[in-house]
Amino acid sequence: MTKEYETVIGLEVHVELATKTKIFCACSTAFGSAPNTHTCPVCTGMPGSLPVLNKKVVEYAMAVGVATNCEINQYSKFDRKNYFYPDNPQNYQISQLYLPICHDGGVEIETAAGKKTVGIHEIHMEEDAGKLVHDDWEDVSLVDYNRSGVPLIEIVSEPDMRSADEVIAYLEKLRMIIQYLGASDCKMQEGSMRADVNLSVREKGAEQFGTRTEMKNIGSFKAIARAIEAETARQIDIIESGEKVVQETRRWNDEQGYSYAMRSKEDAQDYRYFPEPDLVPIVISDEWLQQIKDNQPELRDEKLARYESEFGLPEYDAQILTSEKKLADLFEATTKLCEKPKKVSNWLMGETMRLLKEHEMDAADLKFSPANLAKLIEMTEAGTINGSVAKEVFEQIFASDVDPESYVEEHGLKSDNDEDALRATIEQIVKDNPQSVEDYHNGKEKAIGFLVGQTMKATKGKANPGIVNKILKEIL
């Protein structure tokens, strides 16, 4: 009989903070600019330059700590992590080892297996490194220091997760909390959220943890799930064959679906951490901490409950709308303007989601303004445009945030609400389709649908289908 195994997983999650400037200098953190245009003596490690801490970084780190139920170290320090690599201009990274800003927290997650709390060991602040660009043509490597000094927090979990499902639920939970705080956009594909997975397996019921491996920088939730499954299987195979798992760092190749060893514990670098002498300790006063606590925005769980109670939305709607901060923001802003929460919810959950999927976009990428969606809803409600025109106009709003009023005007899409003209058109259609009229009178209700369709065709889709129906019935 084969043994039963349990997977034990802990995560180290790096999140790029959404500050305007870098952690230790005034350079911009903007993504995607020409190489080395957001640099200065500090973030390029020029001799004699000194770091100065960006206060906003501390505030974001505190906010994430508070939202994840951490203790905040009101006296915390930076340390230097020493290692040589060209993307790291000083050949040390300023990070926190001995006194990180947050510790001993946790978040509740829910999976098919039920609810549980995943502990957070600590959250620390650190600087990101630059980026190496390999030019195969010239056979040289170049360094872009634009990212050097972009602020990061590293959230280190306890080894509390037991499945890929729990890992994804935990990551979703973190992402949602951090997005709601506005501390980061948490885009995995752009690298503003990155996860290292520490994984070991043990026989079910065993008290000791097995030997763990670490998989670095996996690029998406799906890839993380695949990597966890593959690594679990690999470790079980090793144990079953009577061998021992080696403690090592592995790199997951998602295309090929396997991981390979990068370095073992024996080659592990000695980072020679020591307190950063160029920075003074961070002292957080009671008032400052209270201020952060007072200014915490409404997080998802609170929003979820409020959407049901205040707007009377079904739980299903509330779940989807709060799953992305951008959607929730759009929902609230649009509802405030048009006061039709369910209609707003329908547009966001229906057409918006459909178009996002079609264009392979994230909710975070939505660009249209609440005002234009609110106008569109009001125009539809007032019968100014009909449903199918509304969908057409919404595609324009989605793509380029057009003003629905002027768009409808310019393209002549207004519903034809002139009953006399419409009645004349319908009379003509009834006259031209005697067979349908006869079918209708013979009890074939469907026949009226054909006549409505003919009317819409004749009016180029602008007729109000409700009115068409009403007139048709009168005539018939």
Residues forming the site for another protein (CB under 8 A) = 41, 44-53, 80, 82, 84, 86, 89-92, 143, 270, 272-274, 277-280
Torsion sign (Cα): 457, 460, 461, 463:
negative
Based on CB atoms, which residue is closest to another protein, 97 or 355?
A: 97
E strands, 33-176, where?
Answer: 71-72, 75-76, 79-82, 92-95, 102-111, 114-127, 131-135, 140-144, 151-157
CB 317 within 8 A of CB 345: yes
The token pair that represents 94 in the structure block? 């300023």
- Least separation in angstroms between residue 30's CB and another protein is 22
Report the nearest approach of another protein to the CB of residue 140 (Å): 12
**CA–CA gap between residue 154 and residue 296 (Å, rounded):** 20
Q: How far is the CB of 356 from another protein (least distance, A)?
A: 43
- For residues 313 and 307, the answer to whether their CB atoms sit within 8 Å is yes
Least separation, in Å, of the C-beta of 141 and another protein?
Answer: 8
Q: Which is nearer to another protein, 279 or 284 (CB)?
A: 279
Could you tell me the two tokens for 319?
Answer: 């779940």
CB of 214 to another protein, least distance (A): 18
Q: How far is the CB of 339 from another protein (least distance, A)?
A: 49
Distance, in Å, from the CA atom of 476 to the CA atom of 467, rounded to the nearest integer, reads 14
| Least gap, CB of 90 to another protein (angstroms) | 5
By beta-carbon proximity to another protein, the closer residue of 182 and 281 is 281
Q: In whole angstroms, give the CA distance from residue 376 to residue 340.
A: 12
Which residue number, 203 or 278, has a Cβ lying nearer to another protein? 278
Q: Which residue has the tokens 């980026």?
A: 131
Q: Torsion-angle region of residue 71: left (phi > 0), alpha (psi -120 to 50) or beta?
A: beta
Nearer to another protein, 138 or 445 (CB): 138
SS (H, E, C) 393-404: HHHHHHHHCCCH
Comparing CB distances to another protein, the nearer of 78 and 398 is 78
Instruction: Output 125 or 223, the one with its CB closest to another protein.
Output: 125
